[in-house]
Amino acid sequence: MTVALAEAAARDLDAQDPLPTLRARFHLPPATGGGYPEAAYFAGNSLGLQPAATRAALDAELADWARLGVEGHVAAARPWVSYHQQLRDPAARLVGARPAEVVLMNSLTVNLHLMMVSFYRPTPRRQAIVIEDTAFPSDSYAVRSQVAFHGYDPDEAVIRLSPRPGESTLRSEDIASWLAEHGHRVALVLLGGVNYYSGELLDIPAITRAGQAAGAIVGWDLAHAAGNVPLRLHDWGVDWAAWCTYKYLNSGPGAIAGAFVHERHLADRSLPKLAGWWSTDPDVRFRMRPTVTPVDTADSWQLSNPPILAMAPVRASLEMFDAVGMDALRAKSIRLTAYLETLLGEICAEGPMEVLTPRDPDRRGAQLSVRLHGMAADEVSAALRTRHGVVADARRPDVIRLAPVPMYSTFHDCWRAATALAEVASGSCAGS
């Protein structure tokens, strides 16, 4: 097929897709090369694009602040004192939870620490935390610091699970088997639902069951899963989870994060918690009592009053996800990723690169990670951006991550990315 025919075929797929693209509702960066006005943006697994609705959501709160001052806490169109409650229901729907189990607060790593304060309870015989060897560095730092805080040796107590020799991704069944054999040592299992590096989607319910059967608490970092794949945290029996909202949830750099605690833990007064003003029952909050009045919801893990200007973009984003639905987005994600995989397969057959992400759609999210043998990822990513207007993420030394996000990516974007990568790789090989 000629280049022109292949491009036309990609545009036909966009025209015929049952879920038309929502890219008109986002701000696309301008392309710096390739002859297109807009970039083909594949870095939504790092930072999602800005929805057009975000500015209006922020402007509304700024206007109320200007008009009302401190009275905005109770008199704003969306009163600030209870603002976080507006996010509870849509966030719960997004992750498959009951409203009482969810709270939007802080940033991801802060929430991981707050959850571990309650749920990492090491003993001399059961002190290990299990993570994946390719866990995001922040998770590694967090668990090591928690282990050290409790007086144990992180080099011994933090167990990093690796793929089988010769493989690039963990197998969920191998994790479950390891837990069945060694779980008596494990206090906490903390894995990424979708691995940031490979894009692999783990079997969250199966691993949760395996960890709990071994006597461990099971938590999940859903930074790359929330807004990417359908989740059923309550039904799966997950003990707790935390996620950010600036990747697939498009809520802006450093946006407010989310946390989930299963309802079976909500009334457990024996759980240790750090506390602050927003941890107490809102009905008595302004009586200024010196001790916390507990509430049996995830709100009891909050510390401070809600940051309104950080929550407004999250509210705007969650409204979009509610309107479209995760099932429809996931179906389109599978179609886009499969199409991109087909195109990359043709390139990989002819060039020095390979896709690391599992081929099974049920074992991956909206991401394909490509290893570039003999090429530097930073240089390839720069060439894609400056010469072709394709924005991808580089992971040193030799991996490019491409995330076709169903909210705004198109089949034509996938075609642009694949043809650009083929040209860049060809040039790199010729010059090597």
Q: Do the annotations mark residue 270 as ligand-binding? A: no
| CA distances (Å), origin 135, targets 101, 395, 418 | 25, 13, 27
User: Rounded distance, CA 156 to CA 159, Å?
Assistant: 7
Give me the residues paired with residue 159 across strands: 130
Q: Do the annotations mark residue 246 as ligand-binding? A: yes
Q: Do the annotations mark residue 274 as ligand-binding? A: no
| Closest by CA position to 340, among listed 375, 363, 362, 369 | 369
DSSP secondary structure code for residue 71 in this structure = G
Q: What does DSSP say about strands 50-51 and 128-132: parallel, antiparallel, or unpaired?
A: unpaired
The tokens for 366 are 């909206």
Q: Do 358 and 367 form a contact (C-beta atoms < 8 A)?
A: no
User: Rounded distance, CA 260 to CA 212, Å?
Assistant: 17
User: Rounded distance, CA 368 to CA 341, Å?
Assistant: 7
| CA distances (Å), origin 417, targets 52, 118, 343, 402 | 24, 44, 9, 8
User: Rounded distance, CA 325 to CA 381, Å?
Assistant: 32
Q: Do the annotations mark residue 45 as ligand-binding? A: no
CA quadruple 146, 148, 150, 156: dihedral, nearest 10: 100
Q: Do the annotations mark residue 136 as ligand-binding? A: yes
Q: Do the annotations mark residue 139 as ligand-binding? A: yes
Q: Do 304 and 280 form a contact (C-beta atoms < 8 A)?
A: no
Secondary structure (3-state) at 228: coil
Q: Do 344 and 425 form a contact (C-beta atoms < 8 A)?
A: no
Q: Do the annotations mark residue 313 as ligand-binding? A: no
Q: Do 304 and 285 form a contact (C-beta atoms < 8 A)?
A: no
Q: Do the annotations mark residue 59 as ligand-binding? A: no
Q: Do the annotations mark residue 109 as ligand-binding? A: yes
User: Rounded distance, CA 432 to CA 421, Å?
Assistant: 16
Q: Do the annotations mark residue 411 as ligand-binding? A: no
Q: Do the annotations mark residue 239 as ligand-binding? A: no
Question: Binding site: which residues?
Answer: 108-109, 136-139, 221, 224, 246, 277, 305
Question: Binding site for pyridoxal 5'-phosphate: which residues?
Answer: 108-109, 136-139, 221, 224, 246, 277, 305
